[in-house]
């Protein structure tokens, strides 16, 4: 495995950062997770644009242009000889003395890992995942907006662990007002009366790239309406179908929430249709890793 750190590639054993990196000391940094399918990097520019937005949100001055990052991501996948990959970009505040002032760090660090990821067991995609509401509220945008994909994931990690301890696969997180936001590493959609619902991107959640893809596919391929609206757990309990979206999670059907069975207790038919359309799109679009000539994004 070849891992990119600040201009050089290292083996897995040698790929290390300083104990004085503020990414480690304070969770001071941002990241992205991107997938490559069939030798093409899916929605690369959308992820890189979000990375720039996250950096801007925490005052990290980018040292790399969009074009440079694009070619580094493609190069890292190519050097690792991968066709299907999970690409993890991390931008840390960099090396600096102890203390919170971000001016202590002069140069941000860039790490690119191309590997694989599995958030849920393969069987969960056939059976559907079980959800429970977390007692931990999603960190408020009044404290640290979840729109910044920061290296502070303890809120999500602890909510995920609570779900697993309760025997479920994933946790539904509410905002401080009690409205549903997202799961711990995925956005959430539900179907009721011919309309799909998902919380708006400003409700205290990460505006997922896969979320946006799902909204587009529901309109274009399923020819159904999607409303971005606030809703509560009660509304989720009445859902006919539920699914989660994420780069790592892809499209994952959910079949139970807080003990209430959704639909027939199996992945819903519309969700399964959507999974098919999503698979098509991921295999046919994206920035090619191994050819240089012409491509659709
Ligand atoms: N919400 C949160 C909190 C996330 O972290 C998503 C939604 C889905 O967004 P995308 O853009 O991927 O559709 C995420 C995604 C990892 C990892 O280890 C990353 C995420 C989730 C789980 C694991 O890289 N981010």
CB burial of residue 31 (10 Å; 0-12, 13-18, 19+): middle
Distance CA 282, CA 128 (A): 21
Which parts of 193-268 are beta strand (E)? 195-198, 226-228, 241-246, 250-257, 260-261
Active site residues: 149
The SS3 of residue 26 is helix
Task: Indicate the number of domains in the chain.
Answer: 2
Ligand 1 pocket: which of 35, 114, 185, 212 to mutate (most atoms within 8 A of CB): 185
Pair (141, 261) in one structural domain: yes
Give all strands of the β-sheet with 109-115 in edge-to-edge order: 8-10, 3-5, 109-115, 85-92, 29-37, 40-41, 287-288
* Residue 84: band (very low, low, confident or very high) from pLDDT cuts 50, 70, 90: very high
Tokens of 90: 């991390």
Which pLDDT band holds residue 292 (cuts at 50, 70, 90)? low
Query: Are residues 68 and 145 both part of a single domain?
Result: no
Each residue's pLDDT tens digit, 21-51? 999 999 999 999 999 999 999 999 999 999 9
Average pLDDT of the residues of the chain: 96
User: CB within 6 Å of ligand 1 — which residues?
Assistant: 33, 88, 156, 182, 185-187, 206, 208-211, 245-248
Q: Whose CA is nearest to atom 19 of ligand 1?
A: 33
Q: Indicate which CATH number applies to the domain containing 258.
A: 3.20.10.10
CA distance 175 to 64: 34
Q: What is the residue with the minimal CA distance to atom 2 of ligand 1?
A: 185
Report which protein residue has its CA nearest ligand 1's atom 25.
185
CATH of the domain at 53: 3.30.470.10
Radius of gyration for the chain, computed over Cα atoms and rounded to the nearest angstrom: 19
User: Which residues are 90's β-sheet partners?
Assistant: 31, 111
Distance of CA 116 to the CA centre of its chain: 14
Which ligand 1 atom lies nearest to the CA of residue 88?
Answer: 24
Mean pLDDT of 232-241: 98
Q: Looking at 117, 132, 155, which one is the last position of a domain?
A: 117
Taking the CA of residue 46 as reference, the ligand 1 atom at the shortest distance is 11
Which ligand 1 atom is nearest residue 149's CA? 5
Same domain, 109 and 171: no
């Amino acid at each position: 495995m070849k891992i990119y750190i600040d201009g050089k590639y290292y083996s897995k054993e040698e790929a290390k950062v300083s104990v004085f990196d503020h990414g480690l000391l304070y969770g001071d940094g941002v990241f992205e997770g991107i997938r490559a399918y069939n030798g093409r990097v899916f929605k690369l520019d959308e992820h890189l644009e979000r990375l720039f937005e996250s950096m801007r949100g925490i005052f990290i001055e980018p040292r790399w242009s969009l074009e440079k990052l694009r070619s580094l991501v493609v190069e890292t996948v190519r050097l690792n000889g991968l066709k299907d990959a999970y690409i993890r970009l991390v931008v840390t505040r960099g090396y600096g003395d102890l203390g919170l002032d971000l001016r202590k760090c002069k140069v941000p660090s860039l790490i690119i890992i191309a590997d694989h990821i599995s958030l849920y067991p393969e069987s969960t995609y056939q059976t559907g995942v079980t959800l429970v509401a977390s007692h931990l509220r999603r960190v408020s945008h009044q404290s640290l907006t979840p729109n910044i994909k920061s290296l502070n994931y303890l809120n999500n990690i602890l909510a995920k662990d609570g779900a697993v301890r309760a025997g479920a696969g994933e946790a539904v997180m509410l905002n401080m007002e009690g409205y549903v936001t997202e799961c711990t590493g995925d956005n959430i959609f539900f179907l009721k009366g011919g309309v799909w619902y998902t919380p708006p991107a400003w409700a205290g959640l990460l505006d997922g790239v896969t979320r946006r893809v799902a909204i587009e596919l529901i309109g274009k391929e399923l020819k159904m309406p999607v409303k971005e609206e606030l809703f509560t757990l009660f509304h989720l309990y009445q859902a006919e179908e539920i699914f989660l979206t994420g780069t790592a999670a892809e499209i994952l059907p959910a079949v139970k929430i807080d003990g209430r069975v959704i639909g027939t207790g199996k992945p819903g038919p519309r969700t399964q249709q959507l999974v098919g359309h999503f698979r098509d799109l991921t295999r046919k679009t994206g920035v090619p890793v191994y050819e240089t000539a012409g491509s659709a994004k």
